[in-house]
Structures are given as structure tokens and as C-alpha cells.
Chains A and B, each alone.
Chain A
Amino acid sequence: MKPFLFGLLVIGLLAWAPLVLNDYGTGLLLGLTGYATLATAWAMFSGPTRYVSLATVAFFGIGAYTVAVLSETLPYPLVLVVAALIGLSVSLVVGLATLRLAGVYFVIFSFGLAELVRQTVTWYEVNVTGTLGRYIFLPLEARHIYWQLLALLVLTLLIGIYMRKSRIWLALVAVGDDEVAARHAGVDVTRTKLALFALSATIITLVGAIQAPRWTYVEPTIVFNPTISFLTLVMALLGGAGKLWGPIVGAIPLFLLFEWLSANFPNHYSIILGGIFILIVFAVPNGILARLETLGQRRKGEAQ
């Protein structure tokens, strides 16, 4: 019961924060929550299966674009539902076609997918609808967007907790460790992978959909920005993609670091950022959480 109450308290505090913070503080929390959700959702599929996906921005962009297209015609909650459905169906189709690819082929494929979606949306807009930029005039302020993202993050974490208690989880870990063995042991590998991929993609689609009203103006170059895929991946890997809290533990320091660097070293941002990145790879190879655990164990060992 205790962790549950503690969790409620933290969520309550986080939800209350924008009421006392200024716009910048809220914007910061918003961005942070967005990336935490993306990284957690990413790790939901990529963590156990060890499929490194760069398709994050494909779904993120689909979500954002759906909102841009439908925001004038449908009520907002319905727009979110439609966005989620589109994300779900695209991910099912893509998943069915591609999940038999392994290793780096999947990495490249997922990147190609993001670009393909972007090029296709662009072409469609240019040639069929004749408008490329779309406006989103929804009466949503930063804190409203933040609250939605926070709710989505909590939901994502709950799904993660639930999953870890289920049989599916064991099946998934088996896939990550050895797909052939898992198959022989009677795990329906393909179906499990597909379900996870779809779930993760749908959440990512929703993040894009929720964040879109913040930009007022949406065009493919803005919403299909490949940096989003890379940052998500790096955050999750930094924290440790195999652990429930790993992606969040990775997202928080990295996001704040980006912010601090761009506020204080706008001219040397890239150099410092790159240097830190390389250092991270050397210092925390398996993610921060794993590193903390080994440190903890060592200390325990020393104490005995």
C-alpha cells in the first residue's frame, strides 16, 4: 500500500506544479514529461525485445498531424481517439510486415519508415489538398498539455508495472535473450512482439497528438524531425531500457542538461553535448540504473 500512496503523492505534486510555476517552468515540465513518456513507451517495446527502433518520430508525427488535420472538424477528445486509432492501425500493418527483421536491419528499416511517412504526407498535402502548413488553434495552454502528458505517462507506467507481473513479460524477455529458444518453448513470439510494438506506437502517437497544439503551426519538417527519434532512444538507453524506471531516469538528467546547455552555452552547445554523450557511453555503458545497482551491490559487499 505504501508505494501506492507515495506514487499518488508524487503525481499530485507534479499535477499541482504548473499552478505555482511560471510559464517557463511549466514548459520545462511539459517537455520533460513528453520525453519521459516517449522514452518509456519506446522501452516498452525495445527494452524486452532489444529491437532498436528509430520509428518514434513516424508515430509522433502521425499523432501531431492528425490533430492538425482534424482539430477544426472534430471535438478535441475525439481527435485524440482518432489519432490513437490511426497510430494503432499503422503500427499493426508495419509490425506485421517487419518484425521478422532483426538487428540493425530493423533499426534502418524503422528510420526509413519515418522518412517514408514524412515524404508521403508531404506529397499528399502538396498534390491532393494543396496546403502544406496547417494551423492548430485550440484553446489549450501549456499546463493543459502538460496535464494530459502527465496522465499519459502515469498510464504508460501502470501498463509497464502490469506487464512485468504477467506471463507475457517472461515471454518477452525470452525473445530478447534468444528468439529461437523462446519460439521452441512455445512462446508466440510474433504475436507478443506485435502487441508490444502496437501498444508502444499508440502511446507515442498520443504524445505527438497531445503536444501538437503547442506549436500553432504544423508542417512535416516540424513534426517529423528525426532528432526526436534519436533523443528518445538515447534517453532510454542512458537510463537502461530494460527497466521500468530506466527511461525516466535517463530522460530527466538529459533533458535538463540539454536545457541548461542551450540556456548557458548556446554557441558551444553541440560540442559540449557531444562530449558528454561520448563520456556517458564510457562511464555508464548499461544505463544509469544498472550502474547504480552495481554500485549499491558493491557497497553492500563492502559493508559485510
Chain B
Amino acid sequence: MRTKSFKSGTWIARAMGALGLAATVSAGAFTAVQAQDRTSVRIGYAVSATGPNAGGANMTVTPNYELWVNEVNAKGGLALPDGSRLPIEVTAYDDRSSAEEVVRAVERLATQDKVDLILPPWGTGFNLAVAPLMARHGYPHLAGAAVTDKAPDFVKRWDTSFWFMGGGHDYATALASVLQSAKADGKINNKIAMISVADGFGIDLVKAARPSFEEAGFEIEYDKSFPPGTSDFSTILSEAKASGADTFVAFSYPPHTFALTKQAQVASYNPSVFYLGVGAGFPVYKNISGGQMEGVMSLGGIDPNNAANAEYRQRHEEVLGRAPDYWGSVLIYASLQMLEEAIARVGLDRAAIAKELSTGTFDTVLGETKLEDNQLRNIWWAGQWQDGEFVALSPEDRAGAGTVQLPKPAWQ
């Protein structure tokens, strides 16, 4: 990582550096990195490597940070407006899944390590915990792994924050609309059995889902939440089965998603629609379902014909030895690509980067990408396993969307 790619001799850069130094000195703070002997761009992050959040963070966030840094450095570093390149130097901390720890780690990155840029932690709660700090120290905050309906409010509060994963309402209404057309086609009845994990994610989704489903003409026959520590779903599944609903919806986390799949197979529970939460889009889901993932629905999805995305997935597997998930990974990666492009256009001035992120148009794995009110909106909201790929279904009118295949084939 410490390759020497610093190009000397551009006096403009030096002069700019001197000016920058003068500005920081007059502001009363000495920055550790002086621009004229800058040999790298220092990027820091604190993501959960241990504790309850590690499983999610280690799937969606950390691998993409590593992949991106690896790729950028292989190219010789981050391109700057003058055409020179600076390698990335990483400072990574483990927040140990503790809110206090993530706050202090970001304080450390900002005021002790004085890194140039800070990448966000995993999780809605942790992104919110660090948001005020990021804003106060002027770091653009590319909140990747955070699902929240309140993003518009947060953008008002912290105008250098950017939200890449949409909110519970988006996912719930997208699902409702997919189900509504299936019902109109006579493929499913008007009953839904729905369960949700009792934490921020599950509650956000289920709260949005109730009115959406009812509006779409469904009756929610079974509607329960379960504690995050639950590992046995046999009772829940038998109640759901007894409800007579053709549609089973679970807003769940990976351990629950996996357990629900295994136990539904054992119980021969075969609803026409089997929709699960986080984890159904993980590559490991193929093994967990014993190769029977066909027809299972969840959040996210990809367009199998999108070449850029396919190439991204291939690189992810080559560099890290494992495939990315089908929902958040590509969004996080796209946010990093946007950051890279923004730096190439405006340099390392953080305010300028934030402005560019907010107003610019970027070319990412998602295609041409532009944020709306600091939020990424061209997200695939719902998908389904079809022929070994997790195919995006919604928004239905977006180019590349597949069509839902119902009923889901019965478990063998």
C-alpha cells in the first residue's frame, strides 16, 4: 500500500499546498499532513469486526472498502484534478459493535489521526451516531449501510451527509406493488402472514408495510414481531401456515433468514410468495437453502444483463475470494466510486467533495448515477431468485427489471 507514486515537480500543487497550509494554520489547527510532502491520501474507517454487528458489516461494508482500496492502489492511487495519483493509506478500527466505541473511533480518526476522509460504519444506528461528528469536522458522510425513511430530514440537519440505501417505506411499498399485480393476475389470494424482527430495521419495514399492504387490498392475517435472539421459528411457521395466507413476508436478519429457510423446508411450508429479509441475497444462501433458493424473494436484486455489475461481482470474487451480496454491496461500492470520481474532479478539499457528490453526475457500477437531495434513489427494491441469480423485480418500470415468477416451487 505504501507505494511511492508521489510526483514531484508540479509547482502548482506545491503552491496550492502552501496556501492550504496557511489556511489551516490561520484557522488555529495544525494538520498532520502537509500538502507539499503528501505522499498518500489517508482514509480511515471504524466498522464492526467483532460483536453482534460483525456478521452484517463483514458481508456488505468491509469487503467493499478493501476491494475499492485495492483497485485504486493498483491503478497507482486516487486520481487528482492535476492528473497525478496518490495511493490510499488506510487506518481501520474495530468499533466492537458498541455505539460509544464507534463515536470515539471517529473522533480519533478526525482529530488524532487527522485522516483526509472517513468512510462510514455499518448500520443505521451507528451511522446516525457518527453523523453529528462527521458534520462538525467537515467530513462528507456517505452513509452506505443505513436504511432509514428519515434521510430527507437528516440531509437538512447534516448537509454533507449522503444516504445510499433508501428507507423501509421504499422497500415495503415496492413489495406491496409486486404483490398487488400478482394478486390481480390471480396468482395469490389476498391474505398475508408477516413477521418482523424486533429492532430498528424490522420495525421500520413492518410499519411501512402494514398500510401499503392494506392499500393494495391485502388482509394481514398474521402479524407478529420476534426478538433478535430467536433461533427457533417452528411455532411461528406453523401459525403462519394455519393462517391460510399465500404470501409469507419476514423482515428478518441473516440468522433468522437462514433459520426460516431451513425450518420452512422441514415443515414443508410452501406459500406462493416466500419473502425474507437480509441474508436471502447473500451468496451463502445457496448452500443454506440446499440449492433450493429458486423463487425466494427479498430486498435488493441485480439486473443480470448489466455488464458493469457482473464485472464488479467477478472482481469482488477474484480479489476477496468470495462473492458480494445482492443488495447492499453494490450500493456501497458505487458510493466509493462516486467518492473517487469526485476527488478526481475537485481534489481533496472536503467541502468541495461534498458539493460535487451532491450535485455531480457519476459513472458507477449502477450506471449513470446522480443523487437526489443527497440520496441515492435508483435502487432495486425487491428481487427474486431466478435460475441461480437474484434478479431485481422492482421498480417494475425500470429498465432491466425481471418479472416475478409465482408460485415459488415447493421445497423438495
Contact = CB atoms under 8 A, between A and B. Distances in A.
B124 interface: yes
A105 B131 CA distance: 42
Contacts of A135: 128
A228 B128 CA distance: 21
Given A215-B100, A219-B125, A262-B101, A126 B203 contact: yes
Interface in B44-82: 49-50, 52
A216 B111 contact: no
Contacts of A217: 99, 124-125, 128-129
Interface stretch (B7-15, B102-110, B271-279, B384-392): B102-110
A19 interface: no
B107 A24 contact: yes
Interface in B189-208: 198-200, 202-204, 207
B216 interface: no
Contacts of B100: 31, 34, 211, 214-215
B227 A262 contact: no
B219 interface: no
B216 to A, nearest CB: 20
Interface stretch (A3-11, A82-90, A195-203, A263-271): A263-271
Interface in A120-173: 122-123, 125-127, 130-133, 135, 137, 142
Contacts of A127: 225
A27 interface: yes
A206 B115 CA distance: 35
Interface stretch (B90-98, B173-181, B368-376): B90-98
Given A216-B131, A227-B98, A269-B94, A133 B49 contact: no
A132 B198 contact: yes
Contacts of B152: none
B200 A24 contact: no
A153 to B, nearest CB: 17
Contact of B92 (A219, A222, A266): A266
Contact of B52 (A27, A221, A267): A221
B367 interface: no
B321 to A, nearest CB: 18
A27 B104 contact: yes
Q: How large is the interface on A (under 10, 10 to 19, 20 to 34, 35 or more residues)?
A: 35 or more
Interface string A203-244: 000000001001111111111010100000000000000000
Nearest to A30: B104
A188 interface: no
Contacts of A225: 97-99
A216 B107 CA distance: 15
A24 B104 contact: yes
B110 A122 contact: no
B217 interface: no
SS class, residues of chain B in contact with chain A: helix
A290 interface: no
A270 B50 contact: yes
A50 B103 CA distance: 34
Nearest to A115: B229
A27 B132 CA distance: 14
Contact of A263 (B52, B108, B128, B202): B108
Interface in A9-64: 22-25, 27-28, 31, 34
B228 A221 contact: yes
Contacts of B137: 23
A131 B203 contact: yes
Contacts, number: 106
Nearest to B129: A215
> For A34, A125, A219, which residue has the most chain B Cβ atoms within 10 angstroms?
A219
Contacts of B99: 215, 217, 222-223, 225
Contacts of B96: 227, 262, 269
A297 interface: no
Contact of A262 (B93, B131, B203): B93
Contacts of A262: 93-94, 96, 101, 105
B112 interface: yes
A214 B125 contact: no
Nearest to B131: A216
A139 to B, nearest CB: 10
Interface in B218-277: 225, 227-228
A135 B128 CA distance: 9
Interface in B123-158: 124-125, 128-129, 131-133, 137, 157
Contact of B199 (A24, A215, A221): A221
Given A24-B104, A122-B227, A221-B199, A263 B111 contact: no
Contacts of A130: 203, 207
Nearest to B125: A217
A119 interface: yes
Given A119-B227, A126-B225, A219-B125, A269 B50 contact: yes
A22 B112 contact: yes
Contact of A266 (B93, B104, B133, B227): B93
Given A23-B111, A270-B50, A132 B203 contact: yes
Contacts of A142: 107
A222 to B, nearest CB: 5
Contacts of A119: 227
B52 A24 contact: no
Contacts of A122: 198-199, 227
A24 B49 CA distance: 21
A27 B92 CA distance: 19
A122 to B, nearest CB: 5
A82 B107 CA distance: 31
A131 B128 CA distance: 16
Given A27-B107, A266-B92, A269-B94, A216 B227 contact: no
Interface of B: 49-50, 52, 92-94, 96-101, 103-105, 107-108, 110-112, 124-125, 128-129, 131-133, 137, 157, 198-200, 202-204, 207, 225, 227-228
19 contacts: A27-B104, A123-B227, A125-B203, A127-B225, A130-B203, A132-B198, A132-B200, A132-B202, A133-B200, A135-B128, A214-B100, A215-B99, A215-B125, A217-B125, A217-B128, A219-B199, A222-B129, A262-B105, A266-B49
The 3 closest A-B pairs by CB, nearest first: A217-B128, A133-B200, A22-B111
